[in-house]
Each structure stands twice: as structure tokens, then as C-alpha cells.
Amino acid sequence: KAGVTQTPRYLIKTRGQQVTLSCSPISGHRSVSWYQQTPGQGLQFLFEYFSETQRNKGNFPGRFSGRQFSNSRSEMNVSTLELGDSALYLCASSFAGDNSPLHFGNGTRLTVT
């Protein structure tokens, strides 16, 4: 079974631009979550989607948004990029969320200059 696939692996953007990251979950998984990983803050929850509905959102500004498609694939968007948005963005999928084992992709490394 293929794992969680995230594209692209690396991105370099300029402050003020916007970026879209993509995630394909494990086949059969309907829940997709996004996390931001930085050396200072560790792993922080961004949002979770199930059947195209956002069920929960973390404590991030409105510049961070996401969506899920009918095939469970998900995208997240960050608008008006700031230097502090530089991080590893991790997508994870699970069968149903909430207590279902969460499986992570290898992430998208975003660098904002």
C-alpha cells in the first residue's frame, strides 16, 4: 500500500507570495491532517479534514487554509507568506481521525526568503 504522498518536497518562496501544498492520503483513509514542524515550536496542528469538511483548526492565522477533495486528497494554502512560515509542513492521514493511527508523509520543506 502506498504511503502518504506530499508534493512538492521543497519550495522556496519570497515574502508576500502565496503557496499551495498537496497531499495524497493512504488509499481508504478519509481523514487528512496538516501539521507544521519547526525547531522552536515542534509539531503543531494546523487543521483536520474528513469527507471534505474541516472538523478542527489549530491556532494559526487565517492566512493558513486548506481543503479536501471528494477523493480525500487535500491541499493547504498559505497566503501573504512571512519569514516565520519557513517550516516543514507535514500531512498525515488516518482511517477516520480521532484515535485512529495517524500516518505521516515526508513533508514539504518551505523556505521563505
Partner 1 sequence: GENVEQHPSTLSVQEGDSAVIKCTYSDSASNYFPWYKQELGKGPQLIIDIRSNVGEKKDQRIAVTLNKTAKHFSLHITETQPEDSAVYFCAANRAGSYQLTFGKGTKLSVIP
Residues that bind partner 1 (CB under 8 A): 4, 31, 33, 42-45, 48, 50, 55-56, 58, 90, 92, 97-99, 101-107
Smaller CB separation from partner 1, 3 or 16: 3
Shortest distance, position 15 Cβ to partner 1, whole Å: 26
Cβ neighbours of residue 67 under 8 Å, at least 6 residues apart? Answer: 49, 52, 74, 75
Place of cell 492566512: 63
Distances (CA, A) of 43 to 35, 38, 46, 107: 6, 7, 10, 12
Which residue number, 15 or 72, has a Cβ lying nearer to partner 1?
72
Q: How far is the CB of 50 from partner 1 (least distance, A)?
A: 7
